C-alpha cells in the first residue's frame, strides 16, 4: 500500500493578516483535493516578508507530500513569492521564455503595453515548470512538490485544473453528516467521545449551529476511507441523536 499523500496550504499576504481581504483559497484548494484523496492537514498565513515565506515553505515541503502557496506573484513591488520560492530551494530566478512569449502575445492581442512590471510575472525559479493560467495569462509554477498559485481566487481555482493531473491520488475520504436540531454539545459530549474511542479509523467532529431561537443544533460529521466503518459510526450517531430527542437529518 502506498503512503497516503497529504497537503499543506501557505497563504501569503499582508492583506490577509490585516483583515482587509477574506481568504477563500484554503477552502477551494481543500475541496479540490478531497476527491483526490489528498487531505489538507495544515494551513499557515504569512506576511509579505521573504524570510517568513522561505521558512514556512521549507518547513511545510519537508513535512507534507504537496504544498500549495497562494498570493504574491503579481506585478507590484510587494509580490515577492517567486523570489522567496527560489531562495527556499537555493536556485536563481529569471524570466521563463515560454511564459514571456505567451504573455507578450496576450498583451499584444489586448493592445496593452507589456511593461516591465508585467514582465515580472514571467519570472520563475530556475528548474520550475509552469502552471497554466487560463484566466489572466500570467502563470503559476511548480517547484518540486511546491505549487505556487495566484492569490485571486478565480485564478487560483483555474490553476488547480492544470495541477490536478500531476498529483498522486490517495484513498478517498468519505464523509457523512448527521444533523440534529435542538441538540446541545454538552449533552452529547460523553457519548460522542465513546463513539470516537470505539472507532479509531473514523474521524468524528461536532459542529454546533445557531440560527433563530428555534433554529439551533449540532452537526455531527464523520470521515473515513473505510465505507463500512463509516456506516457503523453513522448508525451510532443517528441513535445518539434520537436518544436526545432529535430527529437525525443525514447529509
Q: Chunk the chain into consecutive blocks of 10 residues (it has 251) and report each block's average pLDDT, rounded to whole numbers.
A: 85 96 96 94 97 98 98 94 98 96 94 94 97 94 98 97 96 93 95 96 94 89 94 97 95 91
Structure-block grid coordinates of residue 144 = 518540486
Domain interval for residue 136 = 7-166
Whether residue 187 sits in one domain with residue 160: no
Whether residue 74 sits in one domain with residue 47: yes
Whether residue 122 sits in one domain with residue 33: yes
Q: Please, are residues 235 and 199 in contact by the beta-carbon 8 Å criterion?
A: no
Residue 211's pLDDT is what?
87
Structural element, H or E, at residue 174: strand 174-181
User: How many structural domains does the chain have?
Assistant: 2
What is the Cα–Cα distance from 34 to 11, expressed in whole angstroms?
19
Looking at residue 100, which CATH number applies to its domain? Answer: 3.40.980.10
Q: In this structure, what DSSP letter does residue 167 have?
A: S
Whether residue 233 sits in one domain with residue 200: yes
Residue 2's pLDDT is what?
53
Q: Closest by alpha carbon to 205, among 187, 190, 218, 186?
A: 218
Structure-block grid coordinates of residue 101 = 512569449
Residue 1's pLDDT is what?
38
pTM above 0.85, yes or no: yes
Q: In this structure, what DSSP letter does residue 166 have?
A: G
Phi, psi of 235 (to 5 degrees): -60, -40
Amino acid at each position: 500500500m502506498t503512503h497516503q499523500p497529504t497537503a499543506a496550504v501557505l497563504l501569503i499576504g499582508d492583506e490577509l493578516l490585516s483583515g482587509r481581504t477574506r481568504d477563500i483559497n484554503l477552502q477551494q484548494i481543500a475541496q479540490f483535493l478531497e476527491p483526490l484523496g489528498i487531505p489538507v492537514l495544515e494551513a499557515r498565513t504569512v506576511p509579505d516578508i521573504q524570510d517568513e515565506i522561505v521558512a514556512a515553505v521549507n518547513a511545510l515541503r519537508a513535512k507534507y507530500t504537496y504544498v500549495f502557496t497562494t498570493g504574491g506573484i503579481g506585478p507590484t513591488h510587494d509580490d515577492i513569492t517567486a523570489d522567496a520560492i527560489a531562495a527556499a530551494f537555493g536556485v536563481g530566478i529569471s524570466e521563463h521564455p515560454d511564459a514571456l512569449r505567451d504573455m507578450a502575445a496576450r498583451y499584444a492581442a489586448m493592445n496593452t503595453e507589456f511593461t516591465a512590471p508585467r514582465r515580472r510575472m514571467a519570472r520563475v525559479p530556475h528548474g520550475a515548470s509552469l502552471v497554466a493560467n487560463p484566466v489572466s495569462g500570467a502563470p503559476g509554477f511548480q517547484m518540486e512538490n511546491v505549487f505556487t498559485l495566484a492569490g485571486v481566487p478565480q485564478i487560483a481555482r483555474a490553476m488547480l485544473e492544470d495541477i490536478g493531473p500531476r498529483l498522486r491520488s490517495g484513498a478517498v475520504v468519505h464523509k457523512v453528516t448527521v444533523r440534529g436540531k435542538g441538540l446541545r454539545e454538552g449533552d452529547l459530549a460523553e457519548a460522542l467521545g465513546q463513539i470516537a474511542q470505539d472507532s479509531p479509523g473514523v474521524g468524528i467532529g461536532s459542529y454546533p449551529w445557531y440560527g433563530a431561537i428555534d433554529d439551533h443544533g449540532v452537526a455531527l460529521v464523520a470521515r473515513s476511507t473505510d465505507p463500512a466503518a463509516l456506516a457503523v459510526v453513522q448508525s451510532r450517531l443517528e441513535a445518539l441523536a434520537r436518544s436526545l430527542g432529535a430527529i437525525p437529518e443525514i447529509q
